[in-house]
Amino acid sequence: MKRLALIIIGGITLVAVIAVARTLMLLPARAPIAMQEISAPPEVRDRYAQNLAAAIRFKTISTGDGAAPDHAAFAGFHAFLQDTYPAAHVAMNREVVADYSLIYRWPGSDATKKPIAFTAHMDVVPVPAFGLADWQHDPFAGIIDDDGVIWGRGAMDDKGMLIALMETIEKLAQQGFVPNRDVYLMFGHDEEIGGGGASAMAALLKARGIQFSWLIDEGSAMVEGAVPGVESTVALISLGEKGSVTLKLSAEDEGGHSSAPKRFTAASLAARAGYLVTDNPYPLVLDENLERFLMSVAPEMDFGARVAIANLWATRPLLRDQLAENPTLAAFMHTTTAFTMMQSGTKSNILPQYGEAIVNYRIHPRDTVAGVIERARRIIDDPRVVVEQLGGRDATSMSSTDSEGYTMIAGTIKDVFGPIPTAPTLTVQATDGRFYYGVSDDVYRFTPFVFRPGDLKRIHGTNEAMHRDDLVRQVAFFEALISKAASVQ
């Protein structure tokens, strides 16, 4: 027994030594890293802010109710861009697609080099009338307060990025910069309601045989306080985005009076179906993509967390369960299921003849729309319930972290903002970027501004705003990136 005990103790000690050694060798600790500040002359900062404020005043709203785009708003915004950025419009060729979307091409000096592309969108979501009173400033007034904050719908999603790109091209064009490869800008007009403009632009580019080396769209950013256990600012570069599908789960019955109820009703059948799929979520998987993310941020964490990440061979299930306690991180690990709507009945004493439940899925790249539907039918397993697909699209593929594009983006982040950690991630919302996979070797999502705690709820929510310093950061990043990626060697 003594010999067995010694063997067990020795084995445990060996495992502990290996775990600590892996931690020390692979993931050296470092102190929190502050993001390097970007300076600009006051008049430049003010001009950026004024131009974004002016862009916000154009009510380029996508309502999603089938209404046509507001022609005056979009035509006015097009004219605003031409008037505000004259050098950029001399340097670039502009083309209107699908009535309101814009393609800009900045011709490069070397036609043999693959072009690169940057996308943003002009449209914004509506501001509900019932929520207007909660805004600090009129959401379409383009107010700049005394602290340099630009208030209004679209400041963050996505006119801020669009204006930063135009400021960048204007600045480089004024300096006489000529890219050594074609540089494209694509500005969609209906991203918020499905991206028909981006789809049309991608189809046009494909028909012309255009193939980008890489493309950047919105979808991730630099974050502070968003990654548990990490104090440094972290730059998240998204490699892909989730798909989505909505299922309508409906049932019919003959109805009757509530004084003589049956064991079930159309309402209870639909509700039970919604409950069953929600109560049987997709399993959580700490896959290679999330593993890369964890390895990227591990040096910023305490020793215990680094031990766990360095030794996933032993800690994967435990770490997976701990990460799942954070809803945002849990969403990265599986296809999510959300029971969002229920409709049935007309009166409290009438057994309903019809009931429906609406369930929305956000599909992880390892799953498919067809697989989601089949799984829902199998879980419900009730011929009285009809499972109907409402729209739907598969997730995108995941772009490479070994490509020219990722290397350029990550390197420029460090050049401009300092040695802050960069980490690959997955976008859980929809973007126009998904349409460009057929015309780009890699598609990334990164907006170079800082999300702080509470900022995410401003997007599509109340009091959307951006500080003028974030515009300065964006222009500095895009200027450095284009100069690096498209300069004549």
Q: Which of 290, 166, 158, 243 is nearest to 437 (CA)?
A: 243
Question: Which pair of structure tokens corresponds to residue 387?
Answer: 């499972």
**Neighbour tally for 262: CB within 10 Å:** 11
**Neighbour tally for 67: CB within 10 Å:** 10
Catalytic residues: 123, 191
CA atoms within 13 A on the CB side of 340: 12
